[in-house]
Amino acid sequence: MSPDSWILTEPYAGLQAQALGLAEAAGLRPTTIDLNPRPPLAWLPPAMWPAPLRVGGLATRPEGLLFTAGGSGAAVGAALRRRGRRVVQVQNPRMDIRKFDLVVANAHDQLVGPNVIVVRHALHRARPEVLAAARQVWAPRFAKVQRPLVAVLIGGSNGRFRLGLPEAEDLGLKLSEMAVHDKAGIVLTASRRTAPEVRESLSARVKSLGGWVWDGQGDNPYFGMLACADAIVVTIDSISMISEAIATGVPVMLADLPGNSRRNRLFLKELLDVDRVRHFVGRMDWWPVTPMDDTPRAGMEVRRWLGL
């Protein structure tokens, strides 16, 4: 029987998906607890919190194995580990790694230590069996869209990259060029960070090309898009979306944006060096690829290290 397990993070979809992906890869079905730091704790870096367990009232719970993610999760997890809990931290905790049983960090974090598991990309839930199930549901819904089918994954401005209306219009022109010259069909989804004007501009463009755009209503098509795509275009701002895209067996093209990030640069350099991704220039680009997914290995390492 699997031990009780919990995920402690702030309620950000990307963070929770990483922790849940790792837990599921370890064969666990955790319960998620949202951390919502309020002032004055919210005004301080999590590593400086004087009383982390005040976040969410966690002084006496939860029991069992904890998966924490991000800075807030790390602060709470370190405090709970001092009370005897076992804690697996996802992402660089930005504090002493000895405060955790395990830390699962990305290679671009350049974090090393005897209790550190290094993965090449963000952890995620896009496992083969998940994509196979999504394909059964979404393939009929995308049947009227022209093939080859290109899934377009849109992020948003995040303080390091800019995705405003000018960038959306430029990307829209490139998608048009691909649709016209390469006879490609497009299915597109935006993220929570996508600005309304960006969403509207790209939606109008894709629909004018005979493509399909998720309007945010009904079932989320994200895994279905990954599963059914013949190729993927993803904006360069999101390490999480790129990580999910490269777990598939299709070419992944990066839509460049103004801005810079050291972490993104290091992450993408490795993918570009092994030819797993290429830059999107407005045309289909076909080349042989192999799925890249370290999440199953990380899950097995968690089980081995913790004796599960």
99 and 72 co-located in one domain: yes
Residue pair 61/76 in contact (Cβ under 8 Å)? The answer is: no
> What does the DSSP assignment read for 50-79?
S-GGGTTT-SS---SEEEEEHHHHHHHHHH
Domain assignment of residue 290, yes or no: no
98 and 76 co-located in one domain: yes
Tokens of 7: 């995920």
Domain assignment of residue 288, yes or no: no
Mean pLDDT confidence for 101-117: 93
Domain count, the chain: 2
Domain range for 231: 128-279
Domain assignment of residue 54, yes or no: yes
Question: Could you report the per-residue pLDDT of 257-295, keeping only the tens digit for each?
Answer: 999 999 899 999 999 999 999 999 999 999 999 999 999
109 and 85 co-located in one domain: yes
Mean pLDDT confidence for 184-203: 96
Domain assignment of residue 199, yes or no: yes
Q: What is the pLDDT of residue 64?
A: 85
Domain assignment of residue 174, yes or no: yes
220 and 259 co-located in one domain: yes
117 and 134 co-located in one domain: no
97 and 141 co-located in one domain: no
The torsion angles phi and psi of 267, rounded to 5 degrees, stand at -60, -50
239 and 300 co-located in one domain: no
148 and 245 co-located in one domain: yes
CA distance 237 to 87: 29
Q: What is the pLDDT of residue 53?
A: 83
157 and 256 co-located in one domain: yes
Mean pLDDT confidence for 241-247: 97
| CATH number of the domain to which 152 belongs | 3.40.50.2000
Tokens of 259: 């801005």
| CATH number of the domain to which 67 belongs | 3.40.50
Domain assignment of residue 205, yes or no: yes
Whether 204 shows a pLDDT value over 90: the answer reads yes
Alpha-carbon distances, residue 64 vs 71, 80, 84, 87, 88 (angstroms): 21, 11, 10, 9, 11
Mean pLDDT confidence for 232-237: 98
pTM for the whole structure: 0.92
Q: What is the pLDDT of residue 1?
A: 38
Q: Which residue has the tokens 């690829």?
A: 289
